Amino acid sequence: MNLKQLEYFVNVAELGSFSKAALILNIAQPALSRQVRLLETDLHVTLLTRNGRGVVLTESGQRLFDHSVGILQLVARVTEEIEAARDVPAGRIVIGLPPSMGRRLTLPLVEAFRRTLPKARLAIVEGLSTHLTEWIATGRVDLGLVLNPEPNAAIEVTPVFEEPLGLVGPALGKGKKAAPIALAEVINFPLVLPERSHALRKLLETQAALSALKLNVILEVSSVLSILDLVAAGHGYAVLSQTALAASGRPEAFSFRPLVKPSLTSTFFIAVSAQKPITPLGRHAFRLMQELVVSSSAGSGGTHIKTR
């Protein structure tokens, strides 16, 4: 067992897929699979099992994963502290992305890292904003893009981009224009929304309560892409941003009616730990994320939030 095998194993476990991990690690998938098998052989256990969607950790795999994350973080911290003396952006960094942006940012992020940070090693994980803030606070993730985070003393957040929310339904016929809609009218539509822990759901519920309104939620679904599938099939309406529609790969299949009275916006923040100093690599990754979020969201009707 060696550090490289642990790194490969952690990436596969975090991404739930050998193919995704091979892309991030820039190695051939057969070579990656072979290293994980060697690790299993050395430990005489099965660490991962395959299913229709990818791979999941076994009980033994979960135990090794928990230890491996700490080991790799410790090794990375030592490397970063040594490199920090020379202000060289090197080492390993874990970046967290919400599902609505993961599909749009993963490829340009990987390409930008290879181009501008050749000495750095990148790992990308996806999760809801509530999970990402927890992972950043506990050190599992170094930097993350989060949506409407709640106040948390363990993390520091910087607003990057905000865009309007709207009522999303099936595409309208030719010549028909999707007019803005008041929140008081939205309650008349059957809604497909994320569960209550989701940042967007909390925002909607809070605003509805302030306006003495009750949302008509008929289905609760965590995945934004699954929500859009249900909307396209006529099972209800959603409240999302145009970035979420673009992430679906078929924005033309939906109508988007901006919310007014009041206008509601969704804001993306870059979050880092408040409990440890940011490294040279972290600073470079921070600036890179700012640039990519703004460029990937161009045309969504949102606003770039400039910070000093």
Helix (H) / strand (E) element for 169: namely strand 155-170
Q: Which of 211, 210, 167, 170 is closest to 191 using CA atoms?
A: 167
Give the helix/strand (H/E) hosting 193: strand 191-193
**pLDDT of 102:** 82
DSSP 3-state of 167: strand
Kindly state the tokens that stand for 154.
Answer: 């363990």
| Residue entry with tokens 């970035």 | 243
- Give pLDDT, residue 56: 92
Residues 200 and 267: beta-carbon distance below 8 Å: no
What's the pLDDT at 87?
57
In terms of Cβ atoms closer than 10 Å to its own Cβ (0-12, 13-18, 19+), residue 252 is exposed
Q: Taking 80 as the threshold, does the pLDDT of residue 235 lie above it?
A: yes
Distance CA 149, CA 24 (A): 27
State the pLDDT at residue 42.
92
pLDDT digits (tens, 9 = 90+) for 203-219: 899 999 998 999 999 99
In angstroms, the CA 26 to CA 20 distance is 10
User: What percent of the chain is modeled with pLDDT above 70?
Assistant: 93
Question: For residue 243, what pLDDT is reported?
Answer: 81
Nearest CA to 243 among 99, 107, 115, 136? 99
* Residue 7's pLDDT band (cuts 50, 70, 90): very high
Q: Cβ distance 132 to 96 under 8 Å?
A: yes
pLDDT at 198 over 60: yes
Mean pLDDT of 119-148: 88
**The two three-digit tokens of residue 212, written as one number:** 């003495």
- Sign for the CA dihedral angle at 186, 248, 94, 301 comes to negative
pLDDT bucket at 103, cuts 50 / 70 / 90: confident
C-alpha 99/C-alpha 124 separation (Å) is 12
The secondary element (H helix, E strand) that includes residue 38 is helix 29-43
Q: Which two tokens stand for residue 8?
A: 């490969």
| SS3 assignment, position 89 | coil
Q: Is the CA virtual torsion 139, 142, 148, 152 positive or negative?
A: positive
| Structural domains of the chain in order of their starting residue, each with its CATH number | 1-84 (1.10.10.10), 161-266 (3.40.190.290)
Tokens 């690599």 -> residue = 281
Average pLDDT of 267-296? Answer: 87
Asked whether residue 189 carries a pLDDT value surpassing 90, the answer given is yes
CA distances from 82 to 88, 141, 227, 307 (A): 9, 20, 46, 30
pLDDT tens, 282-301? Answer: 888 999 998 888 787 665 55
What share of the chain has pLDDT > 90, as a percent? Answer: 39
Q: Which two tokens stand for residue 58?
A: 């076994």
* 299: alpha, beta or left? (left if phi > 0; alpha if psi -120 to 50): left
At position 96, the amino acid (one-letter code) is: G
- In this prediction, residue 171 carries a pLDDT of 86
> What's the pLDDT score for residue 47?
94
User: Residue length, the chain?
Assistant: 308
Instruction: Tell me whether strands 217-220 and 191-193 are parallel, antiparallel or unpaired.
Output: parallel
9-64 tens-digit pLDDT: 999 999 999 998 998 888 999 999 999 999 999 999 999 998 878 899 999 999 99
